[in-house]
Amino acid sequence: MRAPVQDQEAIERALAGEQHAYERIVRRYQHMVHTVCIRVLRNAQDAEEATQDAFVKAWQHLAGFGGNAKFSTWLYSIAYRTAISHGRRRKADGPSVDDLLHHPAAEERDHARGTDIKHHLDRALATLSAEDASVLSFFYLEELSVEEIVTVTGLGASNVKVKLHRGRKKLLDVLNKELGPEARELFLDHA
Amino acid sequence: MPELNDQDLRKLFRTVGHTPPGADLTARIMARVAVTPIARPLTVEPLIGKRGWAIAMVGVVALLVFAFVTGGNSTAPPPWLVPAAETLRHIRPPQDWPVWTLGTTACALLFTAVDRLLARRTAA
pLDDT (0 to 100) of residue B25: 93
Number of domains chain A contains: 1
C-beta of residue A107 within 8 angstroms of C-beta of residue A154: no
Residue A1 has pLDDT above 50, yes or no: no
Res. A66 pLDDT band, cuts 50 70 90? confident
Question: CA–CA distance from A178 to each of A42, A52, A175, B88 (Å)?
Answer: 20, 35, 5, 97
Distance from C-alpha of A90 to C-alpha of A92, rounded to nearest angstrom: 5
| Interchain contact, B37 vs A60, CB within 8 Å | yes
Minimum mean pLDDT range among A47-56, A89-98, A116-125, B38-47? A89-98
Contact with chain A for residue B30, Cβ under 8 A: yes
Average pLDDT over residues B49-78: 79
Q: Which residue of B has its CA nearest to A37?
A: B19
Q: Report the predicted TM-score, pTM, of the whole model to 2 decimal places.
A: 0.67
pLDDT (0 to 100) of residue B94: 62
Provide the 8-state DSSP code for A147: H
Angle, helices A44-60 vs A19-41, to 10°: value is 140
Residue A22: CB atoms within 10 A of its CB come to 24
Amino acid found at B106: A
Complex ipTM, two decimals? 0.78
Residue B11 has pLDDT above 50, yes or no: yes
Give residue A116's domain range.
Answer: 5-190
pLDDT (0 to 100) of residue A104: 47
For residue A51, give the nearest of B1, B21, B30 by CB distance: B21
**Higher local confidence (pLDDT), A21 or A188:** A21
Beta-strand ranges (E) seen in A28-177 are none
pLDDT (0 to 100) of residue B117: 86
| Interchain contact, B20 vs A105, CB within 8 Å | yes
**Higher local confidence (pLDDT), A97 or B38:** B38
pLDDT (0 to 100) of residue B50: 87
Residues in chain B with CB shorter than 8 Å from the CB of A182 are 1
Distance from C-alpha of A6 to C-alpha of A168, rounded to nearest angstrom: 34
Residue A114 has pLDDT above 80, yes or no: no
Residue A128 has pLDDT above 60, yes or no: yes
pLDDT (0 to 100) of residue A6: 78
Average pLDDT, chain A: 82
CATH number for the domain harbouring residue A80 = 1.10.1740.10
Res. A82 pLDDT band, cuts 50 70 90? very high
Distance from C-alpha of A50 to C-alpha of A18, rounded to nearest angstrom: 24
C-beta of residue A48 within 8 angstroms of C-beta of residue B21: yes
Res. A28 pLDDT band, cuts 50 70 90? very high
Q: Provide the percentage of residues in chain B whose pLDDT is more than 70.
A: 84
In degrees, rounded to 5, the angle at the alpha carbon of residue B74 between the alpha carbons of residues B72 and B77 is: 85
**Higher local confidence (pLDDT), B82 or A83:** A83
**Higher local confidence (pLDDT), B37 or B44:** B37
Residue A76 has pLDDT above 70, yes or no: yes
**Higher local confidence (pLDDT), A108 or B71:** B71
- Mutation for B interface: A59, A100, A178, most B CBs within 10 A: A59
| Interchain contact, A31 vs B18, CB within 8 Å | yes
Q: Which residue of A has its CA nearest to B33?
A: A56
C-beta of residue A55 within 8 angstroms of C-beta of residue B33: yes
| Interchain contact, B13 vs A121, CB within 8 Å | yes
| Interchain contact, A52 vs B28, CB within 8 Å | yes
**Higher local confidence (pLDDT), A89 or A169:** A169
Average pLDDT over residues B54-78: 77
Average pLDDT, chain B: 81
